[in-house]
Structure 1
């Protein structure tokens, strides 16, 4: 029973953390990678399910340090895939490792992953086509070796990081 209560609390904390950060102006490297991991796992499930795993992602993916994750080997991959709290999708887990490698290759063109995402910030956010921006960034990411980065999930990532400024509707 205690394990179940602790797991529920941990999952609730992941949702609360994601909800608190969502829409903030995120310039932190680790938080940018955190949003990317949630974006990779989100397709096929609700954002709450993916966000609930943030504490698990943090533990298994080196506290969101993509430089360290880029160095993971097959032993690390097996450890992640066998963790009972992890979302059991080997393709998405391998995508996180691939994306960590791609993110670490952004330098020296960009100072870090957050800087890369912010390079797409529209000059006039009132006239931005969110779907088009998501598609543009996803296409660029794929050219740079990122995977599991579709236009819709990247649009949500850009919104979550505050790059796309969501105006409240009346």
Structure 2
């Protein structure tokens, strides 16, 4: 979320030094979500909350790949169009996409029309099916690499998050997926994925969603 944080800082309230902003009812949030109500809703209800659902995990990996070189807000604004274009990211259906689907996707102005990223999404859908045979689900594969609490900063501050564009866990996950034939799964992309899917909680200290995400993780049972 580094690029969005930088943009938001230009209009931040006095909480800027902590990387936070507050709305009209004084709810403190991470500054990167300040731009739009949709972005704030995503921050409040999705980002950092643990996810086991395979469809959502696959969707997020794909959309993080599409985000490369862009902002997450750009992708979030197009998410419903992406879902429509890619069969709601149901891996079995995407794995069956062929040349006619690629042509359709390259002509779809609602999504990011990047031939390499489209091909990657189809490829990675096929790799999801392979992972199931070995691990049972994409969720079981991903959550086994949840980082130990002792490997995380004691306090999640703006400075701490900026110093972590990757992590040992995201590097390990990237290497493992690449070995299995996945593409567009670099360690920075996968750290953003881990942030979003709740494998780490990078809501800043003082953010109203931080404790909610912690409580959700405490009640969450990782897939095995």
Unaligned 5+ residue runs, structure 1? 1-11
> Where do 5+ consecutive residues of structure 2 fail to align?
1-35, 153-163, 207-224
Matching residue of 1:56: 81
**Count of residue pairs brought into register by the alignment:** 158
Hey, which bits of structure 1, 4+ residues long, moved more than 4 A?
12-18
Q: Is the 8 A contact 2:91 2:129 kept in 1?
A: yes
Measured on the aligned residues, the alpha-carbon RMSD in Å equals 2.1
Q: 2:202 aligns with which of 146, 166, 169?
A: 166
- Structure-2-length-normalised TM-score: 0.65
| Map 1:104-115 → 2, pairs under 5 A | 104-115=129-140
Aligned to 2:127: 102
Q: Which residue of 97, 104, 107 corresponds with 1:82?
A: 107
Q: Give the TM-score normalised by the residue count of structure 1.
A: 0.84
> 1:42-97 deviations in whole A, cap 9, x for unaligned?
11011111222210111011111011101111111111111121212111111111
Q: For the pair shown, which has the larger CA radius of gyration, 1 or 2?
A: 2
Matches within 5 A, 1:26-45: 26-45=51-70
What is the rounded CA distance, in whole Å, between the counterparts of 1:107 and 1:121 in structure 2?
18
Is 1:143 the equivalent of 2:179?
yes
User: Which of 137, 156, 168 matches 2:192?
Assistant: 156
Provide, for residues 88-142 of structure 1, a one-character-per-residue CA deviation record: whole Å limited to 9, x for no partner. Answer: 21111111111111111102211221221112112x2232485221111011010
DSSP 3-state at the match of 1:107: helix
The residue aligned with 1:5 is none
> CA–CA distance in 1 between the matches of 2:101 and 2:178?
24
8 Å CA contact retained: 2:82, 2:110: no
Q: Is the 8 A contact 1:125 1:164 kept in 2?
A: no
CA contact (8 A) 2:146 2:169 kept: no
Distance in 2 between residues matched to 1:58 and 1:13, nearest whole Å? 20
Structure 1 residue 166 displacement after superposition: 2.6
- Given that 2:105 and 2:113 are in contact with CA atoms closer than 8 Å, whether structure 1 keeps it comes out as no
Q: Distance in 2 between matches of 1:59 and 1:35?
A: 15
